[in-house]
Structure 1
Amino acid sequence: MRTQADRLRHTIMFEVIGLLTCTPLASWILQRDLIKVGTMSMIISLTAMGCNYLFNIAFDHLLIKLGRRVNDRPPWLRAVHAVSFEASLLTITVPFVAWWLNLSLWAAFVTDIGFALFFLVYAYLYNWAYDVIFPMPADDPQPVIR
């Protein structure tokens, strides 16, 4: 499994690159002020960082429990990882988006789906690239869950 420092680097890099890419695009699509969308995006980003950290630990533990090596992630498993993370994050962020942008829950859900679709593709590509650039340590013969 990854170290705590590596997980922190992974999470911070993911959010910073995502914010710099997504915020101007979302502001333009939503026709809202860049500062308002940027502030909302940062709040969602901080929420996502905490969720991402916990989700990735849980996902790695699940892989070990299922007898899979944590560094053996074929494309279908990467897709499951990305979709399940985004679905869990949506349940937290939709009410906030509705309140922040003064939208109905349905409009906030549609808006958040747009963010989720962007980050779904981004997460898949980012995690794949991250694993190539910062490979996981070799699996121990008998992984220990800490």
Structure 2
Amino acid sequence: MTLRSLRERIIQTVSFELGGLLVVAPAYAVLSGSSPTESLGLLIALSIAFMIWSPIHNTLFDVLEFRFSHRVASDRPHGLRIVHAISHETTSIVVTLPLIMYLGGYGFWVAIAVDLGLTIAYTAYAYLFHVVFDRLRPVTGDGRPAGGL
């Protein structure tokens, strides 16, 4: 199985986060009525929190899966992939909700709605981003993009 190299993963992650900020921050500013600076500040904080939380969650999930099933993540069955995705998104709300409440100045229920809205927006963006990224930087047998960029 050929995977992206570490360099490609870093390019992918940084591109995803920067693109998300460029796409979602203006939309959030318009919908929330906040200034572009406030919107960008909140979304940068959420991006950082998410980039810290994701590897923690994924590592814990992988360790528990291996402990209980003696299976590595790459052999995870479809049903457990769904559980993994749901647990990732659910626990990320716990991580990001306090930031949304504090930096956005929202009460609990409004912050939940904002968090869910951002999750939906980023899910749509993630789909489109990865379609474009994979077309622009397809993986070759050595993990580098075609054309050696």
**Counterpart code for 1:136:** V
TM-fit CA distance, 1:86:
3.9
Q: Which structure has the larger Rg?
A: 2
Q: 1:66 is matched with which residue?
A: 76
Q: 1:75 is matched with which residue?
A: none
Contact 1:97-1:112 within 8 A present in 2 as well: yes
Unaligned runs of 5+ in 2: 63-71, 143-149
Local SS of the residue matching 1:135: coil
Structure-1 separation of matches of 2:55 and 2:8: 11
How many residues are aligned here? 128
Unaligned runs of 5+ in 1: 69-78, 140-146
Say if 1:81 and 1:12 are closer, same or farther in 2 by CA, change over 3 A: farther
**Counterpart code for 2:11:** R
Contact 1:82-1:123 within 8 A present in 2 as well: no
Question: CA offsets per residue over residues 51-99 of structure 1, 9 Å max, x none?
Answer: 456678878x62x22389xxxxxxxxxx998766544432211111011
Q: 2:46 is matched with which residue?
A: 44
Question: CA offsets per residue over residues 15-58 of structure 1, 9 Å max, x none?
Answer: 11110111111111101122111111111122233445667887
Matched, 1:128 2:138: no
Q: 1:96 is matched with which residue?
A: 99
Q: Higher mean Cα deviation, 29-38 or 42-51? A: 42-51
TM-fit CA distance, 1:101:
1.7
TM superposition score normalised by structure 2:
0.69
Q: More relative contact order in 1 or in 2 (CA 8 Å, sep 6+)? A: 2
TM superposition score normalised by structure 1:
0.70
